Copies of this chain bind each other. A is one copy, B any other.
Amino acid sequence: MTLDLSLLPDGGTGWLDASGEHSDIVISTRVRLARNLEGYAFSGRARDGERLRILTQAREALADMPMLSDGVILRVDELPAEDRLLLHERHLASKELAGLNDVPVRSGAALYLSGRFGVMINEEDHLRLQALHSGFAVADAFARVEELDNALGARLPYAFHQEFGYLTACPTNAGTGLRASVLIHLPGLVLTKEIGKVLAGLQSVGLTYRGLYGEGSEVVGNFFQISNQTTLGRSEGELLDYLVRVVHHIIEREEESRRVLLRDAGYIIEDKLWRAFGTLRYARSLSFDEAMNYLSGVRLAVGLKLIGGLSVYTLNKLLIFSQSAHLGRSEGRALTEIEANVARARYVRETLAAETV
């Protein structure tokens, strides 16, 4: 079985469309709920047969829901490695579900996708319900995932404890099972060296940050994922309100940093960002980190209105489609690192040439 991306609703890229609020700074918002089914061990400890029964139950429940008529289910465990990486690069499957990092993919690992929702099946938890939304849209994303949760919960026996709430494989997820995260671009705070204070402040209020690809991933290109740290002991409403308030504050500080940069170092910044554009526009080989860093510069330049004619949607697309598995997919074969760097430079170059003067 090879993944046919055309089967996926909008290829799973609706969240790139730059439609939400503050979409030049906030790329996307994700809300996920961790749920497990009564009567089975957690995925990591379950036998193959158990996981397959979980998959069957989930599939039947999903098929029973009229609101999900546009969805597809992918047997992640039957996909070749490049396709699993592709789903991960597209922010649709976690590393754990996709069986990356030399950990073999778990049998029964599957991914349900519709235009509005996703469900990872047999990830760390039996079910990870998620909604990914373009821009800063915590309430919208939560409303979607809550709708899905209500419908699924009516059809599946969730593991729930009167005192602890929803039970999860990792105790940090117990309670609401909620994690809301915002992928945010903070080059202004990095350039003004304010970022350290902002990140330290996050941790003191129960939030945390990660790189582009979640837990354990490094920060590249000044992209940060900010999310709640724990879920136990608070209501969903409280957790979300809190995240929204803090992120609003960070957006204001980022905007303030950008104003300061332009005021105090205008031509230096302008020069730096245009050089980033020039490199992306003409380089013949680009490593992923390099591409992310220069794209960060170009994104900032577009935000500051220094570079015109380039849409935020294009910038979002470049972030995702310049990754190795995506490049391999468009070249029709797996690429060595050197080949991927050459293909990345070509893809970025041609995309920018087509969209700018």
Interface residues of A (CB under 8 A from B): 267-268, 270-271, 274-275, 277-285, 338, 342, 345
**Which residue of the partner chain B has the closest CB to A281?**
B278
B282/A278 in contact, CB under 8 A: yes
Q: Which residues of B contact A283 (CB under 8 A)?
A: 271, 274-275, 278
Give how many copies assemble into the complex: 2
Q: Which residues of B contact A284 (CB under 8 A)?
A: 267, 270-271, 274
> When chains A and B are docked, how far (Å) is the Cα of A130 from the Cα of B158?
94
Identify whether the interface residues of A are mostly helix, strand, loop, or mixed.
helix
Q: Which residues of B contact A274 (CB under 8 A)?
A: 282-284
**Which residue of the partner chain B has the closest CB to A307?**
B282
> When chains A and B are docked, how far (Å) is the Cα of A81 from the Cα of B284?
44
**Which residue of the partner chain B has the closest CB to A345?**
B271
Q: Which residues of B contact A285 (CB under 8 A)?
A: 267-268, 271
> When chains A and B are docked, how far (Å) is the Cα of A282 from the Cα of B294?
13
**Which residue of the partner chain B has the closest CB to A269?**
B284
15 A-B contacts (beta carbon < 8 Å): A267-B285, A267-B342, A268-B285, A271-B283, A271-B285, A274-B283, A274-B284, A275-B279, A275-B282, A275-B283, A277-B278, A278-B278, A278-B281, A281-B281, A281-B282
